[in-house]
């Protein structure tokens, strides 16, 4: 194994690679329980976090992950860069190349931006969300959360509910859960489901919210108002909430609820359900740290070649 590898989408990860990353995350989890939470695993490595679209969870956890692994970290956010002056993504990557980064973690509003960036650098590129494309590290932390909080993913039924059309979380999540052996369905108004979703990603599709009764996990998707332009996808948010909001009245005992965040309380999910200690939303956010540590470790393939760095760290 040599040289860095990128993580652009779930297609890059066969089931054994997902298993390897989740097990590395477990190892880092035990490190995070110590008083001193920093390990020397990526000392001397440079991680550039280039976030050109808003983020709280992903940007914070990637920055903290790199720091906990002792890497040098540079954080660049949308406003205030030379991209405001018209510099292209290509030229930004070529400029940052001068500082010899090992990993670019990139969030960008355009689908395919991370793959494009990868053409102009020898560093690994990690997709931290590209428009409506993919969000592979979200899928990994979701799998990790289910494994820890519920048990093996294989055989579970996961229902994604809501705005699948604009959701990179769903696109990566459907693939990730299917690859690990879950049954996946999608429940949404037909206007918010991409054409060919069922045939393309192998999810069952329904427009009837009552079909969530069959699921072990109800994964609520944010209504991505910022991607809806002049609207027309639903009659109104009130009507959407009336027809599709996930709330206590629509769940049966024992069902677990996930949401990648940020949430629109009272729209796709009730505030009471967000605050319910049984929901997995807080665990998802917390688990982002160790899973992103594992991803940074994994893409730097030479260091991961024999697993010794994690064993030493643990």
- Residue ranges in contact with ligand CP by CB under 6 A: 55-59, 129, 135, 138, 260-262
Would you say 297 and 24 are in contact if contact means Cβ atoms under 8 Å apart? yes
Distance CA 296, CA 111 (A): 22
Q: Which residue's CB is nearer to ligand CP, number 165 or number 260?
A: 260
Q: Which residue's CB is nearer to ligand CP, number 27 or number 136?
A: 136
Residue with tokens 């009552």: 210
Q: Which residue's CB is nearer to ligand CP, number 235 or number 262?
A: 262
Q: Kindly compute the dihedral angle of the four CA atoms of residues 57, 53, 121, 115, in this order, to the nearest 10 degrees.
A: 100
State the nearest-atom distance from the C-beta of 10 to ligand CP, in Å: 15
Q: Which residue's CB is nearer to ligand CP, number 131 or number 261?
A: 261
State the nearest-atom distance from the C-beta of 59 to ligand CP, in Å: 6
Q: Which residue's CB is nearer to ligand CP, number 109 or number 194?
A: 109
Q: Which residue's CB is nearer to ligand CP, number 135 or number 256?
A: 135
State the nearest-atom distance from the C-beta of 223 to ligand CP, in Å: 14
Report phi then psi at 251, rounded to 5.
-105, 155
State the nearest-atom distance from the C-beta of 57 to ligand CP, in Å: 4
Query: Which tokens sit at 128?
Result: 């931290």
Q: Which residue's CB is nearer to ligand CP, number 57 or number 183?
A: 57
State the nearest-atom distance from the C-beta of 114 to ligand CP, in Å: 14
State the nearest-atom distance from the C-beta of 288 to ligand CP, in Å: 8
Which residue number places its CB atom closest to ligand CP?
58
State the nearest-atom distance from the C-beta of 107 to ligand CP, in Å: 7
Return the closest-CA partner of residue 129 out of 144, 147, 111, 149: 111
State the nearest-atom distance from the C-beta of 265 to ligand CP, in Å: 15
Q: Which residue's CB is nearer to ligand CP, number 31 or number 290?
A: 290
């Amino acid at each position: 194994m040599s040289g860095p590898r990128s993580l652009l989408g779930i297609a890059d990860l066969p089931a054994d690679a997902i298993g390897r990353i989740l097990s590395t995350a477990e190892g880092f989890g035990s490190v995070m329980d110590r008083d001193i939470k920093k390990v020397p695993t990526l000392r001397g490595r440079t991680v550039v976090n280039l976030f050109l679209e808003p983020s709280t969870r992903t940007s914070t956890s990637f920055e903290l992950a790199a720091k906990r692994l002792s890497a040098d970290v540079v954080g660049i956010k949308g406003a205030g860069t030379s991209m405001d002056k018209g510099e292209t993504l290509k030229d930004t990557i070529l400029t940052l190349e001068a500082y010899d980064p090992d990993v670019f973690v990139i969030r960008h509003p355009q689908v395919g931006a991370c793959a494009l960036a990868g053409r102009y650098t020898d560093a690994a590129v990690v997709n931290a969300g590209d428009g409506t494309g993919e969000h592979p590290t979200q899928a990994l932390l979701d799998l990790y959360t289910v494994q820890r909080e519920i048990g093996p993913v294989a055989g579970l039924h996961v229902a994604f509910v809501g705005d699948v059309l604009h959701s990179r979380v769903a696109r990566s999540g459907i693939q990730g859960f299917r690859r690990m052996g879950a049954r996946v369905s999608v429940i949404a108004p037909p206007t918010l489901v991409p054409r060919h979703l069922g045939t393309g990603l192998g999810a069952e599709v329904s427009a009837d919210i009552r079909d969530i009764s069959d699921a072990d996990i109800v994964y609520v998707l944010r209504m991505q108002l910022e991607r809806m332009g002049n609207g027309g996808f639903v009659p109104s948010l009130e009507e959407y909430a009336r027809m599709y909001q996930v709330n206590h009245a629509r769940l049966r005992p024992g069902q677990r609820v996930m949401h990648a965040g940020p949430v629109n309380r009272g729209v796709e999910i009730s505030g009471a359900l967000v605050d319910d200690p049984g929901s997995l939303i807080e665990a998802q956010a917390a688990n982002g740290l160790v899973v992103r540590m594992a991803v940074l470790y994994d893409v730097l393939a030479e260091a991961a070649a024999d697993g010794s760095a994690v064993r030493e760290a643990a």
